[in-house]
Amino acid sequence: MRIANIISDAKRRREYSLKIILLRRKLSLLLYVVGVVWLFLLPIDDVNGLVYVDENALMPGYASNNYISNGKVMKLVEQLNKITWKELPYWISAKFSAIGMEVFTQNFSITVPVLMDNQSYHVMEGVNVYSVLRAPKTSSTEAIVVGVLVEKSHYFSAAMLINLAEYFATKPFWAKDLIFVVTNGGKYGMQAWLEGYLGIDSANIWKEPIVSRSGIIQAAVIIDVASPSIKHVSVLTNGVNGQLSNQDIANTAVRLLTFERIIPSFHGQVDMFNDKYVSSLKTLLKSIGHQATGLPEHLHGLFVRYHIDAVTFQTHDSPVNIGNWQLNALGRAVEGTIRSINNLLEPLHHSFFFYLPISSVRYVSISIYFPPLGCILLALVLEVSLVT
């Protein structure tokens, strides 16, 4: 009866409506503050967890990784610096062919809209070079992609890939085909190759058909080497629209880098043990920021959108030249990661696909970071309901 009286009385209805509105404002502010404070508590060790490899078949570090460049990477870089940009794809094709692998090229063109120009679009052209190393004892049902991006005066990645291909071709233990892809068209070039391999058509991408295929792509490893002097290596897993590769592939890469005495990092942020909280908070905020943009960090991000787990090893230059031993160490880390994927009998599924790395050894799972995110989102919903 009392509620009915309130509803029928316009004056009292306005009074109670005002109280509810004021309460909603206070509740919205409270939820927002709780969410933000909770978010800043995530880098504390008692809140987050230690990383671990959930898929036992990966076994990172169990196999002996013996890659040594013997100065061949530097010699290849010297040769690359002497050839022209147009000769580059054919030179790389000749190197793969000399190893004894199947090698093919794919021409492509991308129609890109131009925003700050009188023209409505411009066309980018490029060439992908891909080579297949067939597994000696299987029927090409599964494959691992090893890719690099070639830019002018940025040839270390391509040189290391060629040297790794030469080394891998001498090993009999591959259970999956290895597909080596070199693109000079950035993310567009790798997108063109992926669409050609998967049989996808896009309105703005023209590409030649893939001549030779292998099996299902189980994973991809991208190498980005800026120079032989390496300060630390970023492990990148962010894909398109905030998608992430399975955490096991990131943890495997980090573990093998650490084993080879290379400092691992996420989003370029190195762990600082003298100021652990600040370091973890910076990595956390960078992780959130990168996922929020929806853009892929590197070539690997294009694979993630097709449910292919992928990771990029991106080096950061050291201001001091401490020798070329780090190239060998990085090569062994890449070798170990590929060999771990080679052990898999099924796609990665045990570990998380939703996580926030805060250091090389700690992470925040979705069950931990979603409650503060929920508080912030609920506060926004209440604010919107007040406006409407």
Encode pLDDT of 140-155 as tens digits.
Answer: 889 999 999 998 778 9
Where is 75: in which H helix or E strand? helix 72-80
Residue 118 has pLDDT above 70, yes or no: no
Phi, psi (degrees; rounded to nearest 5) at 250: -70, -45
Encode pLDDT of 360-382 as tens digits.
Answer: 888 888 888 888 888 888 888 87
Residue 1: predicted pLDDT: 46
Q: Is 227 exposed, middle or buried (0-12, 13-18, 19+ CB in 10 A)?
A: middle
Residue 217: predicted pLDDT: 93
Encode pLDDT of 27-48 as tens digits.
Answer: 888 888 999 999 899 988 888 8
222 contacts 181 by C-beta, under 8 angstroms: no
Distance of CA 310 to the CA centre of its chain: 6
137 contacts 235 by C-beta, under 8 angstroms: no
Where is 121: in which H helix or E strand? strand 121-133
In this predicted structure, which of 82-96, 200-214, 330-344 has the lowest mean pLDDT?
Answer: 200-214
Per this entry, what is the length of the chain? 388
**Which one, of 114, 125, 130, 112, lies nearest residue 85 by Cα?**
125
Residue 158: predicted pLDDT: 93
Phi, psi (degrees; rounded to nearest 5) at 129: -115, 125
* Average pLDDT of the residues in 280-291: 88
224 contacts 313 by C-beta, under 8 angstroms: yes
Encode pLDDT of 182-238 as tens digits.
Answer: 998 888 899 999 999 998 888 888 889 998 888 899 999 999 998 888 888 999 998
81 contacts 91 by C-beta, under 8 angstroms: no
Q: Kindly report the average pLDDT of the chain as a whole number.
A: 86
Residue 131 has pLDDT above 70, yes or no: yes
Residue 113 has pLDDT above 80, yes or no: no
d(CA 361, CA 68): 28
Residue 13: predicted pLDDT: 63
* Average pLDDT of the residues in 272-283: 83
42 contacts 48 by C-beta, under 8 angstroms: yes
